[in-house]
A and B are shown apart, each in its own frame.
Chain A
């Protein structure tokens, strides 16, 4: 493969890089106890929420940034970041009240808020910077007893649920970034599915980082009560910015007895330009607990964006016979760095987990899988199978695999397989011979390679994910 083609195709510009001209309400940069109080005040939070934030903030001051990941993280000045930005207008009540600029932004992203979503049956809770703008389908979901709203609304309207479950899966002391989130989180989504209810549509949130120099710290809490089912989609894009933007989110999921939760992410934050300038730092703590018997949790992620990704959607398998899945495609190009994977903690009996990770590296990027499978002594008959494959598209990138397996019970069966290889030139030639350009061939082959994961996404997302893979990589062959 010639170097020219490589360059040509890896220099594809970020297609979602535009800035929306919306007046925003920004707190001056910097972080202090006063800023934490100010965020809480702006959001009219009750005292218990402020106390929680302050407790986290004080703990955060004692913590250091983790260094074990295979990442080269430039020093982050936490005092030069604005911790709160909200579109100035109050939350709109109907589509007419939504800022037309905002709607245009969503249209450019291909997610018109109402019609197309209505057609595809998705209820969207769109998060523009930090505050939830509009939630659709709230009413029809409400009839089933499903609560789907912004986190702030949940704090106001469902304080008992929030207090009971918030930070029950990710404690406020969990890690540097999670603790920071607990102190300064701005908004996010809240989902509660009552007993015995199957959520009839895919719930979806689109996150965007927009304002200059604002960190985005949203948190999502999903509770699936006994015998319920929900599929949740999270999509992320951020406009092009030269400055790095910090993103430290928390997602917590609780699955009760016989409940099933599917959480799918397509992450396409701005990755920086081809010289490694700018881009989002994405430090996310995602964790779910299979609390009840026979509960099921499934994480699917397609990670194509961000300059730095640090993310390990995890699962605590507490209930007997519970099961968890983690399906991931992570693509890195140019100067992107990703250290991502999962943790499966088997505690209950007859628990099973399945991990499938596909890493694709191009340019001068570094792509690592890091995963832990831990079988506790009481976890009889636990099963795990992990497969981690890496594909290299170029001779300047790196692909790394760091699985950890800790087994404390002899009835467990834990298996791990990993391979690393380069894209098959025979396949490309075969495509070429049939008249398919190298760029398209790589797109085809990579999509084929990632198919097992993409197939796990809901249809609408799968199509978008495929496009994203192609855009991110078009022909990056070495």
Chain B
């Protein structure tokens, strides 16, 4: 499986570099060497025990190494904006930043830079030099190494000191191709001291071919900065989404990451939040609604390296049919991270006998003055609650729905953009009702 990519790189690394940026090329050969050594991860690895990528990786995907423009204008066809929320809207088509920006986006606050990594490499090389690969290059992981070798571009956002983005930034990833396609991208997000930003990442697929996305996102949150990261996955079941989100938190910063999988094929979200300063707040939430033969593995770590920080983690899964869910939640408290308060919860509901859930919370604690806990449950809907509701005249189906919705509700409540919260509530309800959860008015998805 690896060999075709090794051959591809060996034959075409010149073109790959030519169509990328120096900051990205700097780490490329080393990443490739790492990939040659590690290969793609298999279930034999403890960290990939519950994600079997063999089938997804056996497909012969095309890569757009020569960066041929994709003939689609997302602004014409994409009306997926959340009603009532004004955002700075950007598109990535496959793994390329869509160059034409929405006119509304011109009112970005002073100093804020949003664009493609490649473009920023030319205009602000110093920014990329300091940050690109800083978190990802330390990881020993076959998927991250692959990304380092093949990613040629990505989304870039920079928020300067004390600048507050008044509206969320919305990044819509559209997968569009006529043949089975692999997109490889590497995003960089930088918040300087005291900056505030919210990013909403939406994943969509347009064509009925097989897609594989390998995306690495590095986020740097400086002192006192506040960052919210929302990811809404709503793709088709031929999509394999391999996403790595690495967040580094400096002192007194506040980070919320909320990843919601409404519809997908195979998803692996690796999320690691490194808390590297004191007095940080960290929230990591997620929700999965899976049916048919969907697979979702959220592999998360919160690493407390400094004292006096709080973190909360909450993941909920509702699995039907043949869906397979996996959750790993590593809570690591380093020796000196005293007074850490870290709480993790994972709750899962299986609606059918054929659905499967694997959960692996873990606490690794090296400091003594801490309060840490985790709780995990796997079960089905509460029969006594169902009967109670039916006794009040609510039909069995409606009662089930209400319970499922209530079950996922506390994840939705962790969305701090009210309009987005309403919108996701509506989407989740539709999804649970078995109606198509495609965004209303979205022409592309039809």
Q: Do chains A and B touch in the complex (CB under 8 A)?
A: yes
Q: Contacting chain B: which of A121-129, A254-262, A407-415, A431-439?
A: A407-415
List, in ascending order, chain A residues with CB within 8 A of B372's CB.
Answer: 419-421
The 0/1 profile, CB within 8 Å of A marked 1, for residues 359-386 of chain B is: 1111111111111111111111000000
- B335 at the A interface (CB under 8 A): yes
Question: Closest approach, in angstroms, between the C-beta of A332 and any C-beta of chain B?
Answer: 13
Q: Is B300 an interface residue (CB 8 A)?
A: no
Report the number of A-B residue pairs with Cβ-Cβ less than 8 Å. Answer: 116
Given contacts A393-B368, A421-B370, contact A407 B356 (CB under 8 A): yes
Count residues of chain B with CB under 8 A from any CB of chain A.
35
**Does B249 lie at the interface of the complex (its beta carbon under 8 Å from any beta carbon of A)?**
no
Q: CB < 8 Å: which of A394, A401, A411 contacts B361?
A: A401
Interface residue A191 (Cβ < 8 Å from any Cβ of B): no
State how many angstroms separate the Cβ of A388 from the closest Cβ of chain B: 9
Within the complex, what minimum Cβ distance (angstroms) separates A240 from chain B?
Answer: 28
Q: Which residue of A lies closest to B364 (CB)?
A: A400
| Chain B residues with CB below 8 A from A390, complex form | 363, 365
Q: Does A182 contact B (CB under 8 A)?
A: no
| B128 located at the interface, meaning its Cβ lies under 8 Å from any Cβ of chain A in the complex | no
Q: Which residue of A lies closest to B343 (CB)?
A: A419
A416's contact among B351, B353, B361, B369, by CB below 8 Å, is which? B361
Partner of B379, one of A393, A403, A412: A412
Q: How far is the CA of A400 from the CA of B360 in the complex (A)?
A: 13
A405 near B360: Cβ-Cβ < 8 Å: yes
Q: Which B residues touch A408, using CB under 8 A?
A: 356
CB of B428 closer than 8 Å to a CB of A: no
Kindly state whether residue A345 has any CB partner on chain B within 8 Å.
Answer: no
Contact A414 B379 (CB under 8 A): yes
Q: Which residues of A contact B373 (CB under 8 A)?
A: 417-420
Contacts of A422 in B (CB 8 A): 368-370
Tell which of A70, A398, A415, A419 touches B377, judged by Cβ atoms closer than 8 Å: A415
Docked-complex contact A401 and B362, CB < 8 angstroms: yes
Asked whether B363 lies within 8 Å of A407 as measured between CB atoms, the reply is: no
Is the beta-carbon distance between A418 and B369 smaller than 8 angstroms? no
Cα distance A412–B376 in the bound complex, in angstroms: 13
| Shortest Cβ distance from B345 into A: residue | A417
A residues 258-303 near B (Cβ < 8 Å) are: none
Which residue in B354, B358, B375, B380 is a CB contact (below 8 Å) of A418?
B375
Chain A 62-74, CB-CB to B under 8 Å as 1, else 0, gives 0000001010000
**Bound complex: CA A68 to CA B333 (Å):** 20
Instruction: State in angstroms the CA–CA spacing of A419 and B331 once bound together.
Output: 12
Give A377 to B353 CA distance when docked, in angstroms: 7
Contact with A along B38-65 (1 / 0, CB 8 A): 0000000010000000000000000000
Counting chain A CB atoms within 10 Å of each CB, the highest count among B348, B359, B380 belongs to B359
One of B351, B362, B368 near A410 (C-beta < 8 A): B351
Smallest CB gap from B376: residue in A? A416
* Any B CB within 8 A of the CB of A404: yes
The CA of A413 and the CA of B373, in the complex, are separated in Å by 20
Contact at B363–A420, with CB atoms within 8 Å?
yes
- What's the nearest-Cβ distance from chain A to residue B50, in Å? 9
B242 CB-CB contact with A under 8 Å: no
Assess whether A396 is interfacial by the CB under 8 Å rule.
yes
A312 to chain B: closest CB distance in Å? 16
Any A CB within 8 A of the CB of B350: yes
A428 within 8 A of B: no
- Could you tell me the distance between the alpha carbons of A383 and B423 in the complex, rounded to whole angstroms? 37
A87 at the interface (CB under 8 A from B): no
CA distance A420 to B363 in the complex (A): 8
Distance in angstroms from B368 CB to nearest chain A CB is: 4
Are A418 and B361 touching (Cβ within 8 A)?
A: yes
Whether B355 contacts A410 by the Cβ 8 Å rule is yes
Cα(A390)–Cα(B363), bound, Å: 10
A397 to B370, CA, bound (A): 13
Would you call B379 and A418 a contact (CB within 8 A)?
Answer: no
Q: Which of chain B's residues has its CB closest to A389's CB? A: B373
Residue B23 interfacial (CB < 8 Å): no
A348 interfacial contact with B, CB 8 Å:
no
Q: What would be 5 A-B contacts, judged by CB atoms less than 8 Å apart?
A: A399-B363, A410-B352, A414-B378, A418-B375, A478-B369
Instruction: State the A residues within 8 Å of B (CB).
Output: 68, 70, 377, 390, 392-422, 478
Q: Return the 6 tightest CB-CB contacts between A and B, nearest first.
A: A392-B368, A410-B350, A413-B379, A419-B373, A401-B363, A420-B372
Extra 13 A-B pairs, beta carbons < 8 Å, given A392-B368, A399-B365: A70-B364, A390-B363, A395-B368, A401-B363, A402-B360, A407-B378, A409-B353, A410-B350, A413-B380, A414-B376, A418-B361, A420-B363, A422-B368
